Homo-oligomer: A and B are copies of this chain.
Amino acid sequence: MLKPGATIGILGGGQLARMMALAAAPLGLKCHIYAPQGDNPAFDVAAAVTEADYDDEAALQRFAAAVDVITYEFENVPARTAEVLAAIRPVHPNPHALAVTQDRLTEKSFIRDLGLPVPDFRAIDSLDDLKAAAAAMGGFGVLKTRRFGYDGKGQAMIRPETDLGAAWEKVGQAPSILESFVPFDRECSVIAARSANGDSVAYELCENEHRHHILARTTLPAAVPAALGHEAMAIGEKIAAALDYVGVIAVELFVAGDRLLVNEIAPRVHNSGHWTIEGAETSQFENHIRAVAGWPLGITRRRGRIMMDNLVGDEADRWEALLKEPGVHLHLYGKAESRPGRKMGHVTRLLPENG
């Protein structure tokens, strides 16, 4: 258990690391951010920074020695990076959770083996694999690379008329999976947190809308039956326990009729949990920091109805109008450059529960 005054090392210098650092400070904890050269807005709110590449082992070792515990804002932390760090300081969430979630095949298999509902999937290592799998799934599916896919990158829709060779080219002929196509009604997610002593909490299920494969809006409560919401929260906590996880984890789910299907796991704080900063008694960032510090978790009670909108690209140019809107909570990430598709900020609106 860390004491106030201790330092948390964070890999990654983006908005998630920035919001973690902003949550750590009120708890009396310092943050040391490690990130490669670039636009690192988390540097602006950190007690210490290291600007170095993730394969710079000397820099990693100095960083690890300078902090008390290490966490990260992104799931694609190279295995060797995690290994170098974990030899010196505790890394939370643990490198095993990283390894499981970095590979869609491992991840989906892990979820299925837990007895949780997951879309049908098959490993694809060749065009022949893809042809056989597509045929077995009736011609419909989603081809996804096993590693390093995010925001719709490394994916191809498969339909009966799809040129499978072109799809296989589109994912770079990289080791992939074909997932059965789920005609879902809603995309939802659940954010859970697990502490070092095994206690866990989950936030209420939220509902997500994407535009161009990027999260656009999160709303709560989700328009699903209460029982499904509770099932989702239990799924989040079950997955965290199975990974012997410490920290915040996000589980994306499809709602199809009265069924939930796990889509994917993010071993980190998550965009669909940004509403918790104002909308929950304890934010996902504070609970992540509490967990990695070895501290007890805070309660997740929701405050009113919630609408969180991402500000993507030039949507952040609306900051002045947003500031004038009563009760809007504006978050700008301090990024130097706005680009199409880049998450520049978000706004959270808290509405009366019965309004």
Binding site for B on A (CB under 8 A): 4-5, 18, 21-22, 25-30, 43-47, 281, 290, 295-296, 298-299, 301, 303, 316, 319-320, 323-324, 326-327, 329-334, 336, 345, 350
Contact of A303 among B43, B290, B303, B324 (CB under 8 A): B303
Q: Which residue of B lies closest to A7 (CB)?
A: B44
Could you pull out 19 A-B pairs where Cβ atoms are within 8 angstroms?
A4-B332, A22-B26, A22-B45, A25-B45, A26-B330, A26-B331, A26-B332, A28-B334, A30-B334, A44-B46, A45-B45, A45-B47, A281-B327, A290-B323, A296-B323, A298-B326, A299-B327, A301-B327, A303-B303
How far is A336 from B28 in the complex, measured between Cα atoms in Å? 10
CB-defined contacts of A299 to chain B, threshold 8 Å: 326-327
Task: List 11 extra interface pairs beyond A22-B25, A28-B332, A45-B46, CB under 8 A.
Answer: A4-B334, A25-B334, A26-B329, A27-B332, A28-B319, A29-B334, A44-B47, A281-B327, A281-B350, A295-B323, A298-B323
How far is A21 from B45 in the complex, measured between Cα atoms in Å? 8
How far is A107 from B326 in the complex, measured between Cα atoms in Å? 34
In the complex, the answer to whether A345 meets B28 with C-beta atoms within 8 Å is: yes
Question: Contacts A21-B45, A26-B331, A323-B296 known; A336 to B4 CB distance under 8 Å?
Answer: no
A-B pairs with lowest CB-CB distance, top 3 = A28-B332, A44-B47, A26-B331
How far is A46 from B22 in the complex, measured between Cα atoms in Å? 11
Q: How far is the CB of A137 from chain B (nearest CB, A)?
A: 45
In the complex, the answer to whether B44 meets A30 with C-beta atoms within 8 Å is: yes
Q: How far is the CB of A295 from chain B (nearest CB, A)?
A: 6
How far is A331 from B30 in the complex, measured between Cα atoms in Å? 13
Q: Which residue of B lies closest to A331 (CB)?
A: B26
How far is A112 from B47 in the complex, measured between Cα atoms in Å? 45
Q: How far is the CB of A279 from chain B (nearest CB, A)?
A: 12
Question: Contacts A4-B334, A25-B45, A319-B28 known; A324 to B296 CB distance under 8 Å?
Answer: yes
Contact of A333 among B28, B320, B331 (CB under 8 A): B28
